[in-house]
Structure 1
Amino acid sequence: MNFLSYVLLGGLSYAAGRAVRIYVLDKQPKPEQPYNLKHPAILAYLAGFFIIMLIISWLIGRYLLGHVTIDLPFIIVNSLVATFVYSFGLNPEKANYEVPD
């Protein structure tokens, strides 16, 4: 994969996290514990996305890159990085990015 492919994959991961935050989490009633990276719902979405990315990374390696055998380092690192980028879109802690005076 080239740099542009990784940028595209990162953009899609961020957009997926932001979509979940806007269309799912913001539509639900306010929870007692505010959403952050330690909230059980956020952790469940991160775990689910990681599992989905494991499958997508395997498919990318198998069909786009032509890896005949399972390339575990590529699959795991690609999934971890995509999940890390996904967490930025999902995490509403710094949604406003207010600059200090």
Structure 2
Amino acid sequence: MRPPSPSYVEIGGFFVKKLFALHPSIILDEFNSLRITGFYQLKALSEQSVSFQTDDFFLTIQGEEVTVLALTEQNAHISIIELKDLSIRYKPNEGPMYES
């Protein structure tokens, strides 16, 4: 039997809707809005840049102006005016990510 949609997972013969992200995801929308879903660590923040660590990747965004619109345990939403640089580097996390 197949799940009704990709947002469902089979557990014990039953299909259950996924309620939480299993892996971090990064969405860059029109080069002026960035969303991170999943566990992350905020590493640095200034008026022109922001840096995050997610699992084994380090993400840095630089722009004319960088504004945090929302910052929760598993979601970040950043507004970027005039994106200047976006870099994602493989850098293994040195400690366990925070989980509640």
The normalised TM-score by structure 1 is 0.23
Pick the structure with more helix per residue.
Answer: 1
Q: Which has the higher contact order (CA 8 A, sep 6+)?
A: 1
Which one has a larger percent strand, Structure 1 or Structure 2?
Answer: 2
For normalisation by structure 2, the TM-score amounts to: 0.23
